[in-house]
Chains A and B, each alone.
Chain A
Amino acid sequence: MTDIVTCDACPVLCRIRPGHTGACDRYGNVKGVLTRMDPHLVLIRSPEVVAFAGTEWDGNPLAARDVFPTGIGAGTTYPDYKPAPFIVGSTIDGIDMVTVVSEGVFSYCGLKVKIDTDRHLGAETATVRAKGEAVGHVTTAEYGSQMLSLGGVHHLTGGSKREGVATCETLLALANGAAVELTIDGGAVVIVQSGHPPIVDGVAEIRMRVGCGSATIGIFAPQWQHLADEVIVVDDHITGVLTEHQAGKFLGMRPSGIRVRGRRSTPGRYFQVANPGLGWGGTDITDPLSIIERIDPKTAWPGLRLMMVSTTGEHAAWFVLDDALKPVPEPMPDPVIAAVARIGENCEPALCSVLFMAGAGGSLRAGATENPVLLTRAVQSGRAQVTSGGAPVFLWPGGGITYLVDVASMPGNAFGSVPTPALVAPIEFTLPLADYAALGGYIDRVRPLAEIIDHARRESLPKGVAFPVP
């Protein structure tokens, strides 16, 4: 095994397998490189510098604006005492700045999960369970997505110990980017992972549909008008029939006389053309013609060109009516192939996205200043920038410091937990030194950035996330 690294940090000289740590748990083998698992993390603007992680700091002259101390690991693994807050000073563009770095222990916290699927996951307010324990509920659906609200103080500390532990484990796993299986009362079993497609009852979603069948017609009707005489967009929610649909009528299209099964909602829009399933457009059908109830001989005509397609473009077929008005499969003309591809192009990949939401309460602010309300006001007025693991946060207006952060924008494994149970999340307040002094900050605890960097683990933010220092 050549992947084993030998740690020489102490006389034990542990040989460490990839993905494991030595006897002390302070050093580990990360992809074949001996790495200090020292929890404190600083962000480096350029990923190239990260290549040096695991070796001693080589004195690489980094500008202060390229380094940002995060709250990740700023606390300690020891439960017996509380660390003094980590307060880091630096000079950026001639202005003395302070970043107050800490790991917040959040009892009031949870995750808002957006799951890109039109499948029915469960009724609004239905209980969401992990390992049989209630960890959250289904909340208001959004366009093309189902929404879950997980965690929160009632599940973490308001229920049984098992419920609290299961909730904490679920939040921690999801926040750190792992997959979690959730079961919804009276609904589906869904595997959720930030940045990955949801897996609903064992089936992975690939694309978000471009819209329901009716919306798909609304979007593409003018492009289809001259390609086909009739277009049926098969969808488990609303199947659309172009010439009967308002969009087709508006374009002056001739009615085709093709009538689909199901319950007509409004002209050209049909509910329940089939059962939900894994076939066309989230229905159980594999033969699209099976949803055609009848073709009116008084209205239809031989040679009528019929396109059938699903809301994601994953399924499509082309038919021409023969003299007996029977649809006969024909090779799809190139312009129609392009029109089908256009539907697919307009579908976004189905993903789960996980936002962490928490409120920074009294004790956390007291770690930054003796007069906590001044910190709150500095944040609310925008003088103090709040980040979580260096990632940008959305501050909810109103009282307190309640924020939302996309866990995918944070460095890996940014979250921890305590037995309370509660989640531990990094939080940083960055503000000019003068402002920090004015709000009663611990000026004598400010340490220079250079002192921090020597002992810290260095990483970059995920691609595409803005560095916290402009």
Chain B
Amino acid sequence: MTQIRLLPDGCLHLQHGPIDCLARAWGADREIDAAYAQAATSFPTILPALCEELPLLRRALPSPEPHGDVARAMHRAVRPFAAGFITPMAAVAGAVADCVLAILLEGRTLSRAFVNNRGDIALHLSPGQTLRCGLVCDLAHPALDGAFSLAADQPARGIATSGRACKGRGGRSFSRGIADSVTVLAHTAAEADAAATVIANAIDLPGHFSIIRRSACDIDPDSDLGAMQVTWDLGAIAAPDIAIALDAGAVVADDLIQAGLILGAVLCLRGQKIIRQEARLRALELA
């Protein structure tokens, strides 16, 4: 059952199964109404199309290219990471956000728009426009830790955040790493989603006694990660270990920036932060 409703503050709430989007468009009233109407019409088809190819999307790369638009975008976004273990599901939330944004924009003139699918955000900025984005560093204890402005003259149109908050422990998915959060800016939300997952996985202290891991399939029998160990809980870790773990993630983030796959990243663990590609995040005001 899909739920689509206009909220009192002007946002459009679109929910279908695990897809939970908050969309907002700015522009002429007529254009906003039309944008919301076309989103409401097309939205219910997104999840069924994905589910048709779900077994394929849960398979590790290399895998055949799927057929659906969203599924193809997922596959495309994770392909650069095929050297390690990855499935297209690593980009599902971002790819859906991109898709809903594309539906909103189709034939419309909007000054700004965003689609936030549970924290993975696709945005549209017409020339001269900016959008301020808040940063939450610890998914388990959400608080506004900072904010930055995204401007039309910068290429970032996707933001995604990944962290260790595990399904069943306050989170919504699995991470193999221990990051409080990794927030990534990329050209699309799908690319940001995949990269945030990969960087968050790299922030790890293998063998550390404070990390409690469980098999993904023990928590969710259908997880694309199968019997792979995922982080369930994290006890106390010393400051030098925090720095070591963050550095491991920063190395990956730097490589991705170098390769042009992402535009910037903020890595957070237990109060320590690493910000990469300062230029993209120069406006970051940390709280």
Decide yes or no whether A444 CB sits under 8 A from chain B: no
Evaluate contact between B9 and A81: CB separation under 8 angstroms.
yes
Question: Hey, which chain A residues are within 8 Å of B143, CB to CB?
Answer: 161, 419
User: How many whole Å from A10's CB to the nearest CB in chain B?
Assistant: 3
Task: Report, as a range, how many residues of chain B touch the other chain.
Answer: 20 to 34
Q: Quick one: CB contact mask for B156-178 with A, threshold 8 Å, 1 for yes? A: 00000000000110001000000
Decide yes or no whether B282 CB sits under 8 A from chain A: no
- Interface residue from A12, A17, A419 paired with B54 (Cβ < 8 Å): A12
Stretch at the interface among A20-28, A104-112, A117-125, A340-348: A20-28
Decide yes or no whether B187 CB sits under 8 A from chain A: no
Contacts of B1-39 to chain A: CB distance below 8 A = 1, 7-9, 11, 13, 15-18, 20, 22
User: How many whole Å from A173's CB to the nearest CB in chain B?
Assistant: 13
Decide yes or no whether B222 CB sits under 8 A from chain A: yes
Question: Hey, which chain A residues are within 8 Å of B172, CB to CB?
Answer: 25
Evaluate contact between A1 and B7: CB separation under 8 angstroms.
no
Evaluate contact between B18 and A24: CB separation under 8 angstroms.
yes
A52–B108 Cα distance when bound, in Å, is: 48
- Interface residue from B11, B15, B17, B218 paired with A12 (Cβ < 8 Å): B17
Decide yes or no whether A337 CB sits under 8 A from chain B: no
User: How many whole Å from B248's CB to the nearest CB in chain A?
Assistant: 25
Evaluate contact between B51 and A13: CB separation under 8 angstroms.
yes
Question: Hey, which chain A residues are within 8 Å of B17, CB to CB?
Answer: 9-12, 22-24
- Interface residue from A15, A25, A161 paired with B222 (Cβ < 8 Å): A15
The number of A-B residue pairs with CB atoms under 8 Å apart is: 64
Question: Hey, which chain B residues are within 8 Å of A19, CB to CB?
Answer: 168
A14 and B222 in contact, given A24-B17, A24-B20 (Cβ under 8 angstroms): yes
A10 and B47 in contact, given A1-B221, A20-B219 (Cβ under 8 angstroms): yes
Decide yes or no whether A78 CB sits under 8 A from chain B: yes
Question: Hey, which chain B residues are within 8 Å of A425, CB to CB?
Answer: none
Decide yes or no whether B65 CB sits under 8 A from chain A: no
Contacts of A348-371 to chain B: CB distance below 8 A = none
A275–B26 Cα distance when bound, in Å, is: 74
Decide yes or no whether A165 CB sits under 8 A from chain B: yes
Evaluate contact between A12 and B8: CB separation under 8 angstroms.
no
- Interface residue from A15, A22, A78 paired with B13 (Cβ < 8 Å): A78
Total count of chain A residues near the partner, CB < 8 A: 27
Evaluate contact between A165 and B9: CB separation under 8 angstroms.
no
A4–B16 Cα distance when bound, in Å, is: 22
Question: Hey, which chain B residues are within 8 Å of A323, CB to CB?
Answer: none
Question: Hey, which chain B residues are within 8 Å of A15, CB to CB?
Answer: 221-222
User: How many whole Å from A74's CB to the nearest CB in chain B?
Assistant: 16
Question: Hey, which chain B residues are within 8 Å of A419, CB to CB?
Answer: 141-143
A12 and B9 in contact, given A1-B221, A78-B22 (Cβ under 8 angstroms): no
A23 and B142 in contact, given A11-B48, A14-B222, A17-B219 (Cβ under 8 angstroms): no
Question: Hey, which chain B residues are within 8 Å of A21, CB to CB?
Answer: 167-168
Evaluate contact between B54 and A80: CB separation under 8 angstroms.
no
A197–B167 Cα distance when bound, in Å, is: 31
A139–B252 Cα distance when bound, in Å, is: 52
- Interface residue from B11, B15, B54, B168 paired with A20 (Cβ < 8 Å): B168
Question: Hey, which chain B residues are within 8 Å of A17, CB to CB?
Answer: 218-221
Evaluate contact between A80 and B7: CB separation under 8 angstroms.
yes
A4–B219 Cα distance when bound, in Å, is: 11
Contacts of A11-57 to chain B: CB distance below 8 A = 11-17, 19-25
Question: Hey, which chain B residues are within 8 Å of A1, CB to CB?
Answer: 221
Evaluate contact between A11 and B51: CB separation under 8 angstroms.
yes
A23–B47 Cα distance when bound, in Å, is: 12
Q: List 14 A-B contacts (CB under 8 A).
A: A10-B1, A10-B16, A12-B17, A12-B18, A12-B51, A14-B220, A17-B219, A21-B167, A23-B17, A23-B220, A24-B20, A78-B22, A81-B7, A81-B8
Closest 10 A-B residue pairs measured CB to CB? A10-B17, A23-B18, A11-B51, A24-B18, A419-B142, A81-B7, A419-B143, A15-B221, A11-B48, A24-B17
Q: A13-B51, A25-B18 known; 4 other A-B pairs, CB under 8 Å? A: A10-B17, A11-B17, A12-B51, A161-B143
